[in-house]
């Protein structure tokens, strides 16, 4: 017997199904995917395995995924924003904390965001809170009471959302997300008990929202822990096809003179340096849709990694030079994660600009000329601005 067998980098022998894996998965190997023998039901990459675990994308419920801010805050609310000349939006994700005493970081951040509202001046208040996914964690039964309705009982704004991976990793949890965020008409759900917060009437789990000064495309990046997908071999291309069609419509509007800020959002971040890695294939998929429609976002927002991170992607697109901020804001309450220090280093076409470990949220102020993106760190004693950037709208 050879007491010192020669180590292998192949991970597993696909021709010998009785041979146990050397490592936890067969793709821990130096052999590039294009040179690997495909494993039965696994393919040649970890991505092939993950694709097989994704959940079907729920179909759109109405109006081909299109809706307006009037449906959220009414005509008078929209009129106030137009008179004020700007719209304010809250953003964060990854909030669900499955404690029942509610003295949590999630409540701390929610209370800090609530301070941005002015009861006598609605036009100076955020129009809504855009939740970037992972509303709840753990089991679905009763979770929305403890992880959503109670923590936000003092937050006065409407809350819209895209699902995170934890919101869609079990069919019953996705059913709950649809019940509370994609209801046919707003109503107080029975699970909220005495808390007055109506369900939202989003047209689906992915959508395009039209509002004064801004249009927002929210996408569902599915249920994998990592990475994200908007289309694929198991979930099909319906969402991507919708994205191409929607962007072409927005491009036509812009060519006719309607220039609003265009924001994209996915739960999984295209770029990340902490907690979770970036989703390169997802970004390429989205960028292919942008290329087909000849329209790119002015900014891109994500959660999933429990920190705040800023990146700038610089590239040529459709005859012009773009600098697009990619912002991770996934620190709304769930446990924080270590993030690598920002370096200012450029890798490919992306520069890593800023990072923050701790809890907090992001606020947007958008007018006809620019988007100001400001992030805030929150602790029990204070709320402080930690980073801000203004993006001109050409």
pTM beyond cutoff 0.75: yes
What are the b/e assignments for 286-321, b being 16+ CB within 10 Å?
bbebbeebebbbbbbbbbbbbbbbbbbbeeeeeeee
Using pLDDT thresholds of 50, 70 and 90, give the confidence band for residue 102: low
Closest CA to 365 of 127, 143, 195, 199: 127
Cβ contact 285:47 at 8 Å: no
Q: CB–CB of 205/177 below 8 Å?
A: yes
- d(Cα 273, Cα 66) in Å, to the nearest integer? 33
Q: How confident is the model at residue 16, as a pLDDT?
A: 53
Name the residue among 385, 329, 382 with its Cα closest to residue 130.
329
DSSP letter, residue 227? -
- Helix (H) or strand (E) holding 324, with range, is strand 320-329
CB neighbourhood size of 199 (10 A): 18
Across 2-6, 96-100, 112-116, 177-181, least confident range: 2-6
Q: Does position 101 have pLDDT exceeding 50, yes or no?
A: yes
Q: What rounded mean pLDDT belongs to the chain?
A: 91
Quote the CA–CA distance of 148 and 181 in Å, as a whole number.
12
Q: What pairing do the DSSP bridges indicate for beta strands 87-92 and 128-131?
A: parallel
φ, ψ (nearest 5 deg) of residue 360: 170, -160
Measure the CA–CA gap between 347 and 272, rounded to whole angstroms.
Answer: 12
pLDDT confidence tier of residue 170, bands split at 50, 70 and 90: very high
For residues 240 and 287, give the distance between their C-alpha atoms in angstroms, rounded to a whole number.
10
Q: How many CB atoms lie within 10 A of CB 14?
A: 16
Helix (H) / strand (E) element for 365: namely strand 359-366
Token pair of 298 as six digits? 């002015």
Q: What is the pLDDT of residues 324-371, one digit of tens each?
A: 999 999 999 998 899 999 989 999 999 999 999 999 999 999 999 999
Structural domains in the chain plus CATH codes: 22-51 (no CATH), 59-392 (3.60.21.10)
Residue indicated by tokens 């220039």: 259
CA distance 380 to 125: 22
Task: Give the tens place of pLDDT for each residue, 26-56.
Answer: 788 888 888 888 777 777 777 777 888 899 9
Please give the structure tokens belonging to residue 374. 């400001």
Task: Return the exposure string of 367-380: e unless at least 16 CB atoms fall within 10 Å of the residue's CB, then b.
Answer: beebbebebbbbee
Alpha-carbon torsion (63, 210, 148, 328), positive or negative:
positive
175-232, pLDDT tens digit by residue? 999 999 999 999 999 999 999 999 999 999 999 999 999 999 999 999 999 999 999 9
Q: Residue 12's closest CA among 43, 54, 34, 48?
A: 43
Secondary structure class of 374 (helix, strand, coil): strand
Nearest-angstrom CA–CA distance, 97 and 112: 17
């Amino acid at each position: 017997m050879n007491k010192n067998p020669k180590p292998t980098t192949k991970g597993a022998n696909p021709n010998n199904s009785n041979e146990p894996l050397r490592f936890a998965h067969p793709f821990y190997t130096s052999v590039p995917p294009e040179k690997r023998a495909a494993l039965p039901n696994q393919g040649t990459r970890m991505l092939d395995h993950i694709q097989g675990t994704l959940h079907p994308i729920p179909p759109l419920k109405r109006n081909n995924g299109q809706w307006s801010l009037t449906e959220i805050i009414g005509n008078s609310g929209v009129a106030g924003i137009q008179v004020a000349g700007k719209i304010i939006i809250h953003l964060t994700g990854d909030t669900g904390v499955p404690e029942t005493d509610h003295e949590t970081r999630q409540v701390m951040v929610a209370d800090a965001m609530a301070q941005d509202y002015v009861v006598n001046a609605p036009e100076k208040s955020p129009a809504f809170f855009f939740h970037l996914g992972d509303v709840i964690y753990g089991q679905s039964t009763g979770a929305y009471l403890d992880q959503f309705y109670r923590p936000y009982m003092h937050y006065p704004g409407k809350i819209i959302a895209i699902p995170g991976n934890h919101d869609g990793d079990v069919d019953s949890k996705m059913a709950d997300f649809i019940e509370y965020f994609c209801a046919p008409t707003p109503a107080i759900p029975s699970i909220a008990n005495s808390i007055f917060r109506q369900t939202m009437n989003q047209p689906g789990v992915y959508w395009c929202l039209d509002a004064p000064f801004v249009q927002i495309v929210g996408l569902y990046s599915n249920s994998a822990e990592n990475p994200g997908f908007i289309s694929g071999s198991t979930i099909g291309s319906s969402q991507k096809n919708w994205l191409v069609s929607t962007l072409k419509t927005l491009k036509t509007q812009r060519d006719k003179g309607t220039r609003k800020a265009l924001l994209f959002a996915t739960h999984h971040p295209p770029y990340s340096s902490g907690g979770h890695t970036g989703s390169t294939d997802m970004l390429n998929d989205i960028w292919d849709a942008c290329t087909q429609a000849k329209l790119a976002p002015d900014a891109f927002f994500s959660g999933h990694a429990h920190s705040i991170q800023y990146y700038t992607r610089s590239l040529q697109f459709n005859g012009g030079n773009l600098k697009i901020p990619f912002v991770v804001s996934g620190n709304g309450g769930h446990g924080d994660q270590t993030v690598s220090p920002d370096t200012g280093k450029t890798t490919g076409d992306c520069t890593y600009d800023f990072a923050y470990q701790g809890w907090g949220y992001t606020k947007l102020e958008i007018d006809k000329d620019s988007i100001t993106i400001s992030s805030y760190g929150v602790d029990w004693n204070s709320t402080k601005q930690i980073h801000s950037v203004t993006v001109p709208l050409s």
